[in-house]
Amino acid sequence: MASFYLVPTPGPTKIRPKALGDYLEVITKAVFQSGMSWKVIEAKWDGFREAFAGFDAERVAAFTPEDVDRLAQDTRIVRNRRKIQATVDNAVEMVALDREYKGFRNFLRAQESFDGTVAALKDHFGFVGDTGSYYFLHVVGERVPSHEDWMASRG
């Protein structure tokens, strides 16, 4: 019998968000990775950055229905109209929360717990579920339980 061991693969790279667009980019990646191969999304990510104005949250929040139509035909990205519209809607919500809380990080940290933050993300943002929330919070450097503990708590 051959013996082997599993080498843990590194998780997604963490960032230190410097602007609202950094948060928008990470949540958009979570949205588009949902139900898709992450390799497909990674391969097209430069196209996503171009298509979504470098993830400038204010600019994306101002996208019109015509912009959504244009993006739904853009081969640089995954052309899922509902996720494209969710990205625009998420930008609108993110800008509003950023203003209300005087910083999006303040919104995240205003929640009472990890579970409360996940619930708030799911309430405020389209196409963001438990896994997308965990990914988002991990990547933007917020406190999350270990992946093993989180998976065990899910049932």
Taking only the tens place, the pLDDT of each residue in 52-108 is 999 999 999 999 999 999 999 999 999 999 999 999 999 999 999 999 999 999 999
Q: Which CATH number fits domain 20-142: 4.10.520.10, 1.10.340.30, 3.30.499.10, 2.30.130.40?
A: 1.10.340.30
C-alpha closest to that of 62 among 34, 94, 32: 94
Residue ranges of domains in the chain = 20-142
pTM over 0.85? The answer is yes
| Res. 10 pLDDT band, cuts 50 70 90 | low
Average pLDDT over residues 35-53: 95
| Res. 18 pLDDT band, cuts 50 70 90 | very high
Q: What is the pLDDT of residue 4?
A: 44
Q: What is the pLDDT of residue 6?
A: 44
Query: In which residue are the tokens 């990470």 written?
Result: 26
**What's the DSSP call for residue 37?**
-
- Res. 3: pLDDT tops 70: no
